[in-house]
């Protein structure tokens, strides 16, 4: 259970530092997930889950259950007619206060969360990716260390091919009239 909580807290920290709230927002279009090291079968499973949840996924792959940090990051990015699986991403922070983004190490693009809470795919790669990765990982680990040692009640283990359910929000949606 300790390792599951470690993976959960790492992803909650990444979620927070990317600018995604710790509660389920109205535009709940992104799920933060973790599991095995990325492979073709894992990518297929991520695509299936993204489609079932109707959400983009941010994914961390862990080489072993006891690993202290992930060995890679990926996203399942829903496009108009496909779910693109993009791996070989690294977290990046430009400075101590900047939001963390995920930068591709193999293509000239990165992923961020916009003001509406949508995962966006953007062209370009920042300079000094190695330094920005080290800073982002340091910040993620620091935030993860402050999290509770309790497993969240809606944390799910999804076996390959198994049904996945979308957690229900704890509060009604706030509706504002302009």
- Average confidence score pLDDT of the chain: 87
Give per-residue pLDDT as tens, 33-58. 899 999 999 999 999 999 999 999 99
Following CA atoms 92, 103, 40, 167 in sequence, which dihedral angle do they give, to the nearest 10 degrees? Answer: 60
The answer to whether 92 and 102 have CB atoms below 8 angstroms apart is yes
State the maximum Cα–Cα separation within the chain, in Å, rounded to a whole number. 50
The whole-angstrom separation of Cα 104 and Cα 34 is: 18
| Strand ranges, E, within 63-106 | 72-78, 83-92, 101-104
Give per-residue pLDDT as tens, 74-106. 999 999 999 999 999 999 999 999 999 999 999
Say which residues have a Cβ less than 8 Å from residue 144's Cβ, sequence separation at least 6: 6, 9, 10, 12, 13
């Amino acid at each position: 259970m300790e390792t599951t909580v470690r993976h959960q807290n790492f992803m909650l920290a990444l979620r927070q530092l990317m600018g995604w709230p710790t509660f389920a927002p109205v535009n709940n279009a992104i799920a933060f997930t973790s599991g095995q090291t990325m492979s073709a079968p894992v990518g297929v499973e991520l695509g299936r889950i993204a489609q079932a949840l109707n959400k983009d996924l941010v994914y961390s792959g862990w080489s072993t259950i006891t690993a202290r940090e992930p060995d890679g990051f990926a996203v399942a990015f829903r496009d108009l007619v496909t779910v693109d699986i993009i791996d070989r991403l690294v977290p990046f922070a430009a400075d101590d206060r900047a939001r963390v983004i995920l930068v591709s190490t193999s293509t000239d693009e990165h992923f961020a969360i916009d003001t509406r809470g949508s995962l966006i795919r953007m062209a370009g790669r920042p300079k000094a990716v190695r330094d920005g990765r080290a800073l982002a990982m340091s910040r993620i680990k620091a935030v993860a260390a402050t999290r509770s040692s309790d497993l969240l009640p809606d944390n799910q283990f999804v076996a390959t091919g198994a049904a996945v359910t979308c957690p229900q929000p704890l509060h009604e949606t706030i509706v504002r009239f302009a």
